[in-house]
Amino acid sequence: MIEVAVLTILPAAAAFAAAMDLFTLKIPNSISVLLALAFLPLALLVGLDAWTIANHLAAGVLMLVLGVVLFIPGWFGGGDGKLMAAIGLWIGADNLLGYMLYVALAGGLMGFALCCVRGAPLPRALLSEVWALRLHRHDAGIPYGAALAAGALLVYPHTVWFTALAG
């Protein structure tokens, strides 16, 4: 049962956050809260030691501070910052550099793709879709939750969670 939780909680929450951000340009707080609340009990059940748990808590705090710094000038949404902090909590400080690299690459690709798509007319089949119209607007933001989720999914298999499961 613990294995199922380790293999599903972060990936499912990240995928759901990405989908919500793509379709609504909002990330519900409940996703970040779920990740934060599930971390400690699962870390204890898996057998992570106090130093590793502290490492993960520090990573979450660091990502929260970064999220606030990016939120203040309007480069990041509040939901993005909270999701980034919750993901940082799960991946730990040892994986932050790789995570941020993946997020930057995914965000850059997404920004480029949206610039290209927004410069072309919306296909007729999508003209009645509210989410497509919202994403196509030139003044709409970039659903960066998808980039945060992509980074999380790419780095997660390299975290202590999988080492702990392997025994």
- The lowest-confidence range among 10-14, 74-78, 96-100 is 74-78
**Residue with tokens 């993005």, as numbered in its chain:** 80
Percent of the chain clearing pLDDT 90 (strictly above): 77
Whether the model pTM is above 0.75: yes
Answer whether 98's CB lies under 8 Å from 158's CB: yes
- Residue 78 vs residues 17, 34, 45: alpha-carbon distances, Å: 13, 16, 31
- pLDDT at position 140 over 80: yes
d(CA 165, CA 125): 46
Which has the higher per-residue pLDDT, 100 or 164? 100
Which tokens go with 68?
């606030």
At 162, phi and psi to the nearest 5?
A: -75, -35
* CA 78 – CA 71 distance, rounded (Å): 6
Confidence band, pLDDT 50/70/90 cuts, at residue 20:
very high
